[in-house]
Amino acid sequence: MDNELKKFVAIVEAGTFTRAAETLRISQPGLSVAMRKLEKRLGVALFERTGRHGLVLTNAGNQLYAACLEHRRIDHDLALQLVALGNEKIPLRIGMIDSVAALMCSQEEPFRMLEASTELSLHVLHSAALRRAVRRSELDLAIVVADDKEDDRLEVAATAIDRLVFVCTPELGQKVRLDIEQGRPVPFLSYVQHSATFAVIQRALSRSHIVVDPLLYSASPDTILAMTQRGWGAAVLPKSLVADAISHGALMEISSHGEPLYIERHLHVVTLKGRKLPPRLAGLAYAMREQLRSYTI
């Protein structure tokens, strides 16, 4: 991909000329000149210059961006295939949401296998950022919370189910149960509102007619767990994360109308559609997906 096309992709993915120029470490006027040259060379306008809705691509701009993504995917696939011909370790870039990363890192087997055969790079981000990184070929695969919105650029390579549980300290247990029974808001420690997990939890609480009063919003399940153990309120967290605290009596599971409240969070292993992984890398990715299934289902 030539330099002007790389700059075009940077603008689209940054969302503005200003942010793209900062990322590329060039001046904004210089970037604008490069785009005018690209439009002149191609004979089409790539951007709507309305100035009212931020960066808007024309139909030609959208087609060019799609072609650039395909070009980048082919470049990356070729690089991996060439590496696979030799004996050196294959670079593997994996993304995971926080709770899955904590779970996987606590297990020796999968990472020992990956580290022995690959140059492993692990990225821990929220699901939306991970999907974006896979689309940009910055990650080879990612484990994310399933999203109701389909993305035709991504392929779901595997699925798993992560069980979430409603917990609080034993000291708060009676109050939380009464709040639920009487329809009062339960003091609650929540995932951030833009996260996919927040949406999963809210739908489940609504179906159970449980009203909550969020006292904390956090992107980190570890932070939510720490504040739950301090008695700030109740929380819905991965069963794998709270199992030890429950077994030692530091936390208790909350029931709704006499039944424990369990929430199933579906996880997807996503890759870029059409991505061709070398056999060694594909085999390792498959083994990791199977390991994830055994931990979460």
Q: Is 136 helix (H, G, I), strand (E, B) or coil?
A: coil
Domain 162-265: state its class: alpha beta
DSSP class per residue in 85-135:
HSSSPEEEEEEE-HHHHHHHHT-HHHHHHHHHHEEEEEEE--HHHHHHHHH
Contacts of 129 (CB under 8 A, 6+ apart): none
Instruction: Please list, residue by residue across 112-124, b when 16 or more beta carbons sit within 10 angstroms of its beta carbon and e when fewer do.
Output: eebeebbebeeeb
Answer whether CATH 3.60.21.10 is correct for domain 87-160+266-295: no
Give dist(CA 78, CA 112) in Å, integer: 27
Q: Name the CATH code of domain 3-71 (choices 3.90.700.10, 1.10.10.10, 3.10.20.30, 1.20.1340.10).
A: 1.10.10.10
Q: Name the residue ranges covered by the structural domains of the chain.
A: 3-71, 87-160+266-295, 162-265
Question: Does residue 293 surpass a pLDDT of 60?
Answer: no
Per residue in 48-93, pLDDT (tens digit) is 865 555 688 899 998 998 888 888 777 666 655 554 555 567 778 8
Per residue in 6-49, pLDDT (tens digit) is 889 888 888 888 888 888 889 989 999 999 999 999 999 999 86
Contacts of 286 (CB under 8 A, 6+ apart): none
What pLDDT, on a 0 to 100 scale, did the predictor assign at position 262? 87
What pLDDT, on a 0 to 100 scale, did the predictor assign at position 78? 61
What pLDDT, on a 0 to 100 scale, did the predictor assign at position 107? 65
| Lowest-confidence pick of 78-82, 175-179, 191-195 | 78-82
Token pair 């779970």 is found at 103
Q: Give CA 211 to chain center in angstroms.
A: 27
Would you state the structure tokens that stand for residue 270, as one six-digit string? Answer: 């996503």
Per residue in 266-281, pLDDT (tens digit) is 888 888 887 666 555 5
Angle between helices 3-14 and 59-85 (to 10 degrees): 110
Question: Does residue 289 surpass a pLDDT of 80?
Answer: no
CATH topology match: 87-160+266-295 vs 162-265: yes
Q: What is the mean pLDDT of residues 102-125?
A: 74
pTM flag (> 0.85): no
Instruction: Give the containing element (helix H, strand E) for 81.
Output: helix 59-85
Per residue in 223-256, pLDDT (tens digit) is 999 999 999 999 999 988 898 999 999 999 998 7
Averaged confidence pLDDT in the chain = 83
Question: Does residue 96 surpass a pLDDT of 70?
Answer: yes
Q: What is the mean pLDDT of residues 129-147?
A: 88
Contacts of 137 (CB under 8 A, 6+ apart): 69, 72, 73, 76, 272
